[in-house]
Copies of this chain bind each other. A is one copy, B any other.
């Protein structure tokens, strides 16, 4: 996930003759990562337009002009947040799928796993990234939107075989095309209303929610249809 984002980053370390600093304790990658992390949180909490580059600089202890040493523009920082988020989400989803396939679980369990993981991405510890992508899309330029659209397409592609199987089994009574859009909608919208309760483990709360979603979308197996 780092690879892609670094590729897309115009590095300007060479610009405006600056001593290379030989990687002291605060090396460049860390500061850059800090900026991305804090920007993600601020963008999620206040929105992109309402967050100033000064807010971001202050939140990592920099002065107002310094973020522009790491990022050519505020928009590019937003784009980087989104790309990093997507790469991370896609990588984790692949892991989840690989594990389930080894365990030879049913299509229903596969869909549960995908839903559960997607909720983790939206509401879990790293929740600052994908929600920003979902809700600040229009702040990107056309080219950046295209890049992210392709990444989203890849991410959702993993869901299609599972949905197709469930549709073939008559456990999903909507075409795969509509089901995908509506299911992602229901999940993505949780960002708007879900808050973690105190005293219950986060994992359990996400389990419950994932189960509720699955039960809403997937019809019970009719007795004569065997699994897989």
Chain A contact residues, CB within 8 Å of chain B: 46-47, 49-50, 134-135, 138-139, 172-175, 178-179, 181-190, 192-193, 209, 212-213, 215-217, 219-220
Contacts and interface: CB of A to CB of B under 8 A. Distances in A.
A174 B216 contact: yes
B185 A188 contact: yes
Nearest to A193: B181
A173 B49 contact: no
Residue in A173, A216, A219, A220 with the greatest tally of chain B CB atoms within 10 Å: A216
Contact of A173 (B135, B188, B220): B220
A215 B213 CA distance: 15
A37 B62 CA distance: 42
Nearest to A173: B215
A85 to B, nearest CB: 17
Contacts of A134: 192
10 contacts: A134-B192, A178-B213, A179-B212, A182-B213, A182-B216, A185-B187, A185-B190, A185-B192, A185-B193, A219-B219
Contacts of A174: 212-213, 215-216
B175 A212 contact: yes
Q: Does more than half of chain A's interface fall in helix, strand or loop, or is it mixed? A: helix
A79 to B, nearest CB: 16
Closest 7 CB pairs of A and B: A185-B189, A49-B49, A178-B212, A186-B186, A185-B186, A182-B186, A174-B216
A189 B180 CA distance: 12
A209 B50 CA distance: 34
A219 B217 CA distance: 9
A212 B212 CA distance: 19
Contact of A47 (B138, B172, B182): B138
Contacts of A181: 189-190, 193
Given A135-B135, A182-B190, A185-B192, 7 more contacts: A47-B138, A47-B139, A50-B139, A173-B216, A178-B213, A185-B193, A188-B189
A209 B178 contact: yes
Nearest to A182: B186
